[in-house]
Structure 1
Amino acid sequence: MRTDSDLLRSVAPARRPSPQSSRGLLIDWDPATYRQTLERFAADRPLTLPHSEAETGSPFPFRLTVLDADVPSPIMLHPRWEQALAGFVREQARGVPLGAGNRNYKDSNPKCEVAVALTPLRVLAGERTMEELQAIASGLELPWLRSYLSFHHETAIHSVLRMTREETAAAVRETADAVDRIRHVDGPAAEVLAAVRRLQQHFPHDRGILLAVCMKLIQLDPGHAAVIPPGCMHSYLSGQAVLVMGTSDNALQAGLTQEYVDLCELQHLTSGGQPQPSPLPVVDVGDGQQRIPLWSNDLDLRRVVVGSGQKPVSVGPFSVVLAATEPADITVDGATADLEPEAKILYAGEPVTATITGPSQIFVASTL
């Protein structure tokens, strides 16, 4: 599985001359250098560069990448706006270096996340209802979960985060025993059984197994989408997806990881519950194109399925074009750039109709 830092790194091919049409530029998308490249190629053109977003240096309030959960991703939480602001100010006042391993808040921004399934995708996100937890406790005969349900005065996830090391180890053993013993269940208990068996392959003693028992399971077919709001704990259990995320680097890890886990801060962030994930309506706009709503009316995301021929797609004034599966070409006014799988091209210029040559799945994220 790609790490979080890998997700933010462009996998575009080596540098090559940037194709230039009469109305815009096509350049390899590299978040570290694209702005300087854009300024160099646009020096003699009437092309107005967008203003940088605060603290990120990027005119794009999103990141676009491919995720492959061949190993389940860490359970993490992106704080809500008020949480991010308070946490960032607090750590700045304490003098915690931005690059420190125990730094929770790299900036003061929230981070929304939208996942579009490329293959059947399973996502753990948010919290299960009390009725679902009762069905799981009964179906899997889990003493630790039954105890919580008998005396609960907080959310199940908050209760797991408050467990001592000894309590955690005992609950993980109980869960492993149940998975070995139980064979035939249905409903939420069956979902948890399958999720725990997958997680045990990679994280047999991790607190994240207990969190996973309490988290909702979302299953998306290819082309379907879901939104993970700020403040919602989540992990990608299996499958491939295109992720569109805010530019914040705030990500508190809670389980399924060897990285730093701040249990006290996570308890603080989850004490009042969590916003829930939800499916997103994918709008068919014709000719093999779908529009997926994002968190701002200034952003546009389109999925384009290109067969063996060509398809037109609108780009500009600033669009990031991602080839999610197979290689593709993008042509604007006779200028062509090639896209390897998972590579990204930035188009900057007048809004135009580009031609995509496949076969591939193409995602176009634009600022309007």
Structure 2
Amino acid sequence: MLIFIENTPRAYAWGSTDALPDMLGTTPTGEPQAELWLGTHPGSPAHVAKATPVQRTLIDLVESDPERYGVDGGPLPFLLKVLAIGAPLSLQVHPDREQAAAGFAAEEAAGVPRDARERNYCDPTHKPELLVALSEVTALSGFRDLAAAREDLLLLAAAARELGHPEGAEGFERAGCRLVGRDAGELRRAFLTWAFSRDPRIVDALSCLFDVLRAAEAGAIGFWERALEEGTIDPDRLASLRALAAAHPSDPGVLVSLLLHLVRLAPGEAIFLGAGQIHAYLGGVAVEVMASSDNVLRAGLTQKHVDIDELCRIVDTGELADPRFPAERLDHGLLAWRPDVPEFQLMRARLREADAEAGTGYSDAEAAVRIDLPARGPVVLVVTAGKVRIERPEAHPAEVASVRRGQSVYVSAGEPICITGHGEVFLASVGAESDGTALR
């Protein structure tokens, strides 16, 4: 079955006011709209579009015929999202399978309500996730070289001293000194603990940080201008710090951000976030797929609950060589991102009309006239550009759906599907090595 699905965007404070309405073809409400969830996660299950007078969720559909609509007789193990990031998300990590199961069981046994602010583990499932940029996306992702972070802290110290903030300068210097030693992993863990300890030096550094960055932007710090010209200072890093300090002026997460890679993803580039990898999305529009979980442990840049001790217990303190995750070219017009997890993979199909004129859309090199895919297991797809036709010609009777930008379809397990038209489609299914029910 080809079943149109829809959902109401999640109205988190970090969302954009117009990006999701633009994609969905709806009128902006003036409120931030952050995430569109397309799956069976109980926190916000998608529902069958315009099916009956009574709303029927995708959970209801799976429960009506688990073998036909579910995976291994249960709900979908993956969750597809569209993100519209208008402001930075919290710094966060996700647990692995064992940590999630143990943490959830412990909080259940302790009687912590599942909707309690201090709850760390909402479910017993891990949450690896993959993000593919639709627009330019900026993110903090994984730990970078300690020497580079220390150099930035010492530059801030010199700038604070030049502006007449000796206490702030001492705070930056002390932070930099904490990144010197043999065991990089333990240094990072200790820095996280210290940053959230309310040490007066951290408070002093944060109190002058925005003034330092504003003065640097105005050209009031002579050596800083020279450093920019020489390439010693990364202007993107400065812009990131300014945005974070403006949004969270006293939050230690602003300084923690200096320990992380700052990534600028072009449309079509991706990052994969495995267990324990600290990260924060800062801006842009993207498609994301993850294991169907909502387990998040936060490390600042938020008004929500921060449990730094638990975060430090599960965070991966190793250095990440390259945050970007490469795509595989499976066929003409077809890319796939396949991390080593069984719950999900993500594909991007680009289509063009056979008689499309040159210059009117995707080039021959990046788009196909027709893409055929098996669908041995369930598939959730969303059209992010143009309009495409999804067909199941071998079904009895044959099935067809015309899907425009912003619309989503659930494809039940069964016969192969054929995609034509002119546009871009993202398709999520179980992982390629899961159990033979993968999309391809």
- Calculate the TM-score normalised by the size of structure 1: 0.81
Change over 3 Å in CA distance of 1:294–1:151 after alignment to 2: closer
Q: How many residues align?
A: 345
Q: What is the rounded CA distance, in whole Å, between the counterparts of 2:36 and 2:197 in structure 1?
A: 31
User: What is aligned with 2:122?
Assistant: 106
Cα displacement (A) at 1:326: 4.3
For the pair shown, the structure with the greater C-alpha radius of gyration is: 2
Q: What is the rounded CA distance, in whole Å, between the counterparts of 2:278 and 2:33 in structure 1?
A: 15
Q: What is the rounded CA distance, in whole Å, between the counterparts of 1:10 and 1:64 in structure 2?
A: 11
Match of 1:175 among 209, 223, 243: 209
Change over 3 Å in CA distance of 1:82–1:144 after alignment to 2: farther
Conserved? CA contact 2:127–2:290, under 8 Å:
yes
- Quick check: 1:93 aligned with 2:137? no
Q: What is the rounded CA distance, in whole Å, between the counterparts of 2:70 and 2:178 in structure 1?
A: 58
**Equivalent AA in structure 2 for residue 206 of structure 1:** D
Cα displacement (A) at 1:322: 1.4
Change over 3 Å in CA distance of 1:162–1:48 after alignment to 2: closer
Q: What is the rounded CA distance, in whole Å, between the counterparts of 2:34 and 2:135 in structure 1?
A: 22
Q: What is the rounded CA distance, in whole Å, between the counterparts of 2:307 and 2:300 in structure 1?
A: 10
Conserved? CA contact 1:231–1:274, under 8 Å:
no
Conserved? CA contact 2:388–2:419, under 8 Å:
no
Change over 3 Å in CA distance of 1:102–1:303 after alignment to 2: same
Match of 2:57 among 33, 37, 45: 33
User: What is aligned with 1:330?
Assistant: 390
SS at match of 1:73: coil
SS at match of 2:108: helix
- Quick check: 1:148 aligned with 2:148? no
Conserved? CA contact 1:116–1:242, under 8 Å:
yes
**Equivalent AA in structure 1 for residue 289 of structure 2:** V
Cα displacement (A) at 1:261: 1.7
Q: What is the rounded CA distance, in whole Å, between the counterparts of 2:48 and 2:124 in structure 1?
A: 33
Q: What is the rounded CA distance, in whole Å, between the counterparts of 1:10 and 1:341 in structure 2?
A: 21
Q: Deviation digits for residues 102-147 of structure 1, max 9, x if unmatched?
A: 1101122221111111122211022221111122123333543321
Change over 3 Å in CA distance of 1:234–1:80 after alignment to 2: same
Q: Deviation digits for residues 166-193 of structure 1, max 9, x if unmatched?
A: 5543222232132123243335643321
Conserved? CA contact 1:316–1:350, under 8 Å:
yes
Match of 1:282 among 324, 327, 336: 327
Cα displacement (A) at 1:94: 1.6
Cα displacement (A) at 1:229: 1.1
User: What is aligned with 2:50?
Assistant: 15
Q: What is the rounded CA distance, in whole Å, between the counterparts of 1:48 and 1:65 in structure 2?
A: 19
- Report the aligned-residue RMSD: 3.1
Conserved? CA contact 1:332–1:355, under 8 Å:
no
**Equivalent AA in structure 1 for residue 211 of structure 2:** D
Change over 3 Å in CA distance of 1:324–1:275 after alignment to 2: farther
Q: What is the rounded CA distance, in whole Å, between the counterparts of 1:11 and 1:200 in structure 2?
A: 36
User: What is aligned with 2:307?
Assistant: 262
**Equivalent AA in structure 2 for residue 349 of structure 1:** A
User: What is aligned with 1:245?
Assistant: 290
Match of 1:364 among 418, 422, 427: 427
Q: Which has the higher contact order (CA 8 A, sep 6+)?
A: 1
Change over 3 Å in CA distance of 1:286–1:74 after alignment to 2: same
User: What is aligned with 2:373?
Assistant: 314
User: What is aligned with 2:236?
Assistant: 191
The percentage of counterpart residues that share the same residue type is 25
Q: What is the rounded CA distance, in whole Å, between the counterparts of 1:298 and 1:151 in structure 2?
A: 39
Q: Deviation digits for residues 219-245 of structure 1, max 9, x if unmatched?
A: 222111111111111111122211111
Change over 3 Å in CA distance of 1:315–1:365 after alignment to 2: farther
Cα displacement (A) at 1:291: 1.5
